[in-house]
Amino acid sequence: SQKIEQNSEALNIQEGKTATLTCNYTNYSPAYLQWYRQDPGRGPVFLLLIRENEKEKRKERLKVTFDTTLKQSLFHITASQPADSATYLCAQSQNTGTASKLTFGTGTRLQVTL
């Protein structure tokens, strides 16, 4: 069965640097990959979605790439700030025909220090 893997449990970087988080999938190429941010004690918040036929997507300081050859998506935060510290979740989405079904990875906890 398909698995979404975020192999880095935690990532520590210095303020101003670019954070790069990795998401791998094991079998078939998902039609869509979504990235969410989750702060402690709160629900995930949607950040970006990238489709299978898109190589790259950007939103302000965020960039997501999708490489079907490597079975991987990379999530970049440029000019990182302490406020970016959170857990970032990758999820594949499937169209069931009735509702959007997400399969999540375990997440990567990002810590941005001064």
Partner 1 sequence: ETGVTQTPRHLVMGMTNKKSLKCEQHLGHNAMYWYKQSAKKPLELMFVYNFKEQTENNSVPSRFSPECPNSSHLFLHLHTLQPEDSALYLCASSPTGTGYNEQFFGPGTRLTVL
Q: Which residues in 14-47 are b (16+ Cβ under 10 Å) and which e? A: eeeeebbbbbbbeeeebebbbbbbbeeeeebeeb
Q: How far apart are CA 39 and CA 85, in angstroms?
A: 8
43 is a site residue for partner 1 (CB under 8 A): yes
Instruction: State in angstroms the smallest separation of the CB of 86 from partner 1.
Output: 14
**Per CB under 8 A, 22 contacts partner 1:** no
Candidates 13, 49, 62, 74: give the one binding partner 1 (CB under 8 A).
Answer: 49
Residues that bind partner 1 (CB under 8 A): 4, 31-32, 34, 41-46, 49, 51, 89, 91, 93-96, 98-107
